[in-house]
């Protein structure tokens, strides 16, 4: 989490530094409101297109950057933050452009005399840019309106995922229009500075990301087909077990990783954690909780023989670390990555001392019995807490059961609020932040 916070804060600082280096006299000799407004228009434009370009680059899912951020879930969290920041900056940029016009029309602000425009060499690139200014302003304004609507829809949870999947790609079109707007309206002198070179690289990469997004392509794991070979319904806990046989090309996976699965091309891919260890046999197991309209309808739509599309594996929730002591915490369906790890340890122990806490609001004796058998085979101590009977798991319950918790790496998968409560409680007691590992994955 700290890594993506540092990147999120450092990126606009870097852009600001490049802008100041490119125009060190930007704030000198400014006289009047409109002079300040023009400078701030350039600055907000640089920040806005820079942040949006970075977000578009991340949509490519670059593997080298995913590794440095700590997983695709962290990359998507940074992508979301950048999207919100880009929306905020472009709103400020739009207000700087339109607000003074409204104030002049209302008679609350007096427009000063515009300085004469310099004569530009006939046929030069700079002259061509100058001739395109009016068109670029109009393109940018309408792209801004469309982008605001699409970004707000992406942030609204009740907007159906299927519609989100269909509309979110349109942001790529808006981005390409805003790149044209920025290239034309950026001060021409900036292009010969490090700022111009940096923006050119960012926008070029962003344009590649936008085109690939429109084509539904990226740099991540390859897509392969698969076939459903088994379905197990667990109605007591609202879970559907799905066994899939991937076609040739699945590279294998580590316990704790996830894959994107498309059961329906119109719906688009959804991320699901792989619940089985990889033994070389072409078989993947997924546990799908009925948490929304799409997942609730899957038991009636899927059947043995259904063809699906797989993509992956992704994720860094892979139980690595130097500590010989580990504490695992699975909340509800968050038990899934630990099931895969239990299977892996059952065939290849790693010598770690492990306690697994499973907190659940729904109880199925057969499911718990299978979990206990796998934990025993993996030599992992299992603690099951059924909320109606035992209350919800808290930090006090963990430290009382694991006296040497300070020497442990903690791996959590479950509801976000539950994870924050456990993390904050353990950190207050002295657990180093780097020892707490949590999936942050959200598609929107």
Q: What is the dihedral of CA 146, 261, 345, 240, to 10 degrees?
A: 110
Q: CA–CA separation, 347 vs 2, rounded Å?
A: 35
As annotated, the residues of the chain forming the CATH 2.40.30.10 domain(s) are 223-314
Q: What is the pLDDT of residue 259?
A: 93
As annotated, the residues of the chain forming the CATH 3.40.50.80 domain(s) are 325-438
Contacts of 130 (CB under 8 A, 6+ apart): 117, 120
Residue 63 half-sphere exposure toward CB, CA atoms < 13 A: 7
What is each CA distance from 230 to 23, 26, 244, 309, 311, in whole angstroms? Answer: 63, 66, 7, 16, 19
Angle at which helices 33-58 and 194-214 pack, to 10 degrees? 50
Q: CA–CA separation, 426 vs 434, rounded Å?
A: 12
**149: enclosing H helix or E strand:** helix 133-155
Q: What is the pLDDT of residue 116?
A: 64
As annotated, the residues of the chain forming the CATH 1.20.120 domain(s) are 2-214
Q: CA–CA separation, 239 vs 362, rounded Å?
A: 11
Pairing of strands 381-386, 353-360: parallel
Pairing of strands 223-234, 239-246: antiparallel
The superfamily in CATH containing domain 223-314 is Translation factors (2.40.30.10)
Ranges under pLDDT 50 in the chain: none
Q: What is the pLDDT of residue 339?
A: 96
* Residues 437, 70 contacting (CB under 8 angstroms): no
Q: CA–CA separation, 407 vs 212, rounded Å?
A: 45
Q: How many other C-beta atoms lie within 10 A of the C-beta of residue 245?
A: 16
Q: CA–CA separation, 383 vs 327, rounded Å?
A: 11
Give me the CATH topology for the region 2-214: 1.20.120
What does the chain come to in residues?
A: 444
Residue 109 half-sphere exposure toward CB, CA atoms < 13 A: 15
Tokens 């609020």 correspond to 417
How would DSSP label each residue in 424-438? HHHHHTT--GGGEEE
Q: CA–CA separation, 170 vs 206, rounded Å?
A: 14
**Cis preceding-peptide flag for 399 (omega within 30 of 0):** no
Closest to 275 in 3D by CA, of 321, 243, 304, 246: 243
Q: CA–CA separation, 426 vs 372, rounded Å?
A: 26
Q: pLDDT for 257-278, tens place per residue?
A: 999 999 887 777 889 999 999 9
**360: enclosing H helix or E strand:** strand 353-360
Q: Tokens in use for 76?
A: 């998507």
Contacts of 385 (CB under 8 A, 6+ apart): 357, 358, 359, 360, 391, 392, 393, 397
Rg, Å, the chain Cα set = 26
| Three-state SS at 88 | helix
Q: What is the pLDDT of residue 106?
A: 84
* Residues 257, 318 contacting (CB under 8 angstroms): yes
pTM confidence score = 0.84
Q: What is the dihedral of CA 212, 217, 219, 221, to 10 degrees?
A: 170
CATH code of the region 325-438 = 3.40.50.80
């Amino acid at each position: 989490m700290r890594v993506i916070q540092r990147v999120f804060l450092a990126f606009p600082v870097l852009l600001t530094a490049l802008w100041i280096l490119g125009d060190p006299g930007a704030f000198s000799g400014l006289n009047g409101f409109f002079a300040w407004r023009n400078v701030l228009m350039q600055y907000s434009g640089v920040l806005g297109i820079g942040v949006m370009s970075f977000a578009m680059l991340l949509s490519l899912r670059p593997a080298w950057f995913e590794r440095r951020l700590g997983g695709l879930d962290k990359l998507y969290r940074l992508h979301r933050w950048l999207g919100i920041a880009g929306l905020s900056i472009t709103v400020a940029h739009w207000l700087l452009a339109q607000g003074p016009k409204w104030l002049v029309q209302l008679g609350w602000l007096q427009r000063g005399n515009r300085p004469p425009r310099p004569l530009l060499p006939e046929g030069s690139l700079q002259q061509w840019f100058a001739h395109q200014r009016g068109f670029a302003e109009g393109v940018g304004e309408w792209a801004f309106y469309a982008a605001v609507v699409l970004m707000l829809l992406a942030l609204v949870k009740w907007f159906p995922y299927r519609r989100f999947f269909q509309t979110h790609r349109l942001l790529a079109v808006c981005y390409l229009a805003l790149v044209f707007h920025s290239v034309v309206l950026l001060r021409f002198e900036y292009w010969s500075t490090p700022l111009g070179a940096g923006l050119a690289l960012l926008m070029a990469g962003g344009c590649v990301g936008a085109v690939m997004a429109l084509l539904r392509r990226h740099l991540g794991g390859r897509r392969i087909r698969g076939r459903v070979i088994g379905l197990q319904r667990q109605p007591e806990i609202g879970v559907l077990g799905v066994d899939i046989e991937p076609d040739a090309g699945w590279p294998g996976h580590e316990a704790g990783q996830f894959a994107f699965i498309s059961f329906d091309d119109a719906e688009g891919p959804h991320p699901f954690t792989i619940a089985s260890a990889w033994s070389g046999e072409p078989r993947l197991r997924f546990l799908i909780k009925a948490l929304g309209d799409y997942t609730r309808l899957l038991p009636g739509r899927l059947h043995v023989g259904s063809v699906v599309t797989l993509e992956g594996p992704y994720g860094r929730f892979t139980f690595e670390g130097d500590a010989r002591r580990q504490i695992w915490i699975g909340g509800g369906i968050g038990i899934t990555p630990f099931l895969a790890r239990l299977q892996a340890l059952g065939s290849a122990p790693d010598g770690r001392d492990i306690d697994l806490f499973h907190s659940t609001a729904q109880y199925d004796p057969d499911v718990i019995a299978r979990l206990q058998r796998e934990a025993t085979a993996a030599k992992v101590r299992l603690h099951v807490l059924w909320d109606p009977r035992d209350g919800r798991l808290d930090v006090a319950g963990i430290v009382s059961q694991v006296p040497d918790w300070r020497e442990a790496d903690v791996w959590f998968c479950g509801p976000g609020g539950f994870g924050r409560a456990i993390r904050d409680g353990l950190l207050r007691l002295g657990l180093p932040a780097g020892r707490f590992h949590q999936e942050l994955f959200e598609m929107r």
